[in-house]
Amino acid sequence: MANGNKSKNIYFLGAASFFTDISSEMVFSALPLFITSVLGAGKEVLGLIEAIADSFSSLLDIFIGFASDRQESRKGFVLLGYGLSFLSKFGIALSSAWQSVLLFRASDRLGKSIRTAPRDAIIASSAKKGNLGQAFGLHRAMDTAGAIVGPAAAYLVLLHAGSGEEGLRSVLYLSLLPALLAVLIIWKFVKEKSGKARSQGFRLRPSKSAFLRKLSSLPKGFKRFLLVSCFFSLSYFSFAFMLARASELGVPAHDIMLLYAIFNVAYLLASVPAGWVSDRIGGKTAIALSFFLYALALAGFSFLSDFAHLAALFALCGIFASADESANKAYISSIAGERSAATALGAYSSAVGLFYLPANLAAGLVWSAAGAPAAFLLAALIAFASGIAMLKFA
């Protein structure tokens, strides 16, 4: 595949992520209120749903990453993942009980698991040498542009249809259109080089011995980095809790959408600069700084006072999310090398995903038992300790 076509993949994948995030963020911004207000579930149920969903988002990453490395064929995985997420969102819109939301939310995140590592490996192989951080930052910027449009669209729908069940379900149904557009972009425009392994067909089941050899070949530095990242993940509960915190403080539903838009604007504006900084100061240092930033934001959610305070914290979370993702993916891709990039990215996602389950469950239980400040402060302490560990031990 010509170099020009390779670089176009970054933009087409960014466009698919743009439309997917419009859809996903419309759903996600409405979901905490839909679960608690329309379906009548409590914070512990919200924690359970997000815990399982976040775990499912990483469940297969390591196996999918390895399979796509082995076959040198990634597009099929990406297309399947986006397609499954589209169908799952339709199921959420039809749900009348929190148990069905749990099922479809998990399958939506399973779609994310199937597509993420192969998609990121396509981006890594399409980027110019020395510009990995910027390539991932550009993709993240396009992705996050969709994440701004999504909550804004949900805000307009709720203003028109109201914040009750009718308005919330309208948001969920309208989210289906951009999700379908993303699938069509992947199918029509994303290209990859033809390789000898593509003739083997689309397979999810790799050889066990080859899989173990691939894992054992990953650098020792990556394994130390992964250990610290897993510890940090204990603090990384779902953003739904921050939206629920705003609701608990009496912020109206449509204004919660504005707060989420602020988060995504900050995310977008920080994406390319965060990638540039990561390329200049080194991945580990950039990741550690993002952990400290997250700890500061979490502590702030424990001592809220007014809407302006909330808006600043949501912006801070957006800067953290952008810096954390760009730096992590660039660092992992650089130490693993092109032929093992998807395996390493998948191993990272699967490993940290295992810790999202206890992190979200614990957040929901601590919140129910001791209040929101206790849940946020505990997570802040873990995040701060993780930043120190990343600098000293990874």
- Sign of the Cα torsion 317, 321, 327, 328 reads positive
Task: Count other C-beta atoms under 10 Å from residue 11's C-beta.
Answer: 14
Q: How far is CA 309 from CA 6, 65, 249, 304, in A?
A: 43, 40, 12, 6
Cα torsion through 194, 200, 206, 210, rounded to 10: -70
Give me the mean pLDDT over the 296-312 stretch.
88
**pLDDT confidence of residue 58:** 66
Whole-angstrom Cα distance, residue 290 to residue 302?
Answer: 19
Task: Count other C-beta atoms under 10 Å from residue 203's C-beta.
Answer: 12
pLDDT classification of 71: cutoffs 50, 70, 90: low
Whole-angstrom Cα distance, residue 104 to residue 122?
Answer: 27
Whole-angstrom Cα distance, residue 103 to residue 120?
Answer: 26
Task: Count other C-beta atoms under 10 Å from residue 15's C-beta.
Answer: 20
> What are 229-276's pLDDT values in tens digits?
999 999 988 777 888 888 888 888 778 878 888 888 888 788 778 777
> Which of 1.20.1250.20, 2.120.10.30, 3.40.50.150, 3.90.1200.10 would CATH assign to domain 3-190+217-392?
1.20.1250.20
> Which has more confidence, 369 or 6?
369
Q: To the nearest whole number, what is the mean pLDDT of the chain?
A: 82
**pLDDT confidence of residue 129:** 66
Whole-angstrom Cα distance, residue 154 to residue 339?
Answer: 41
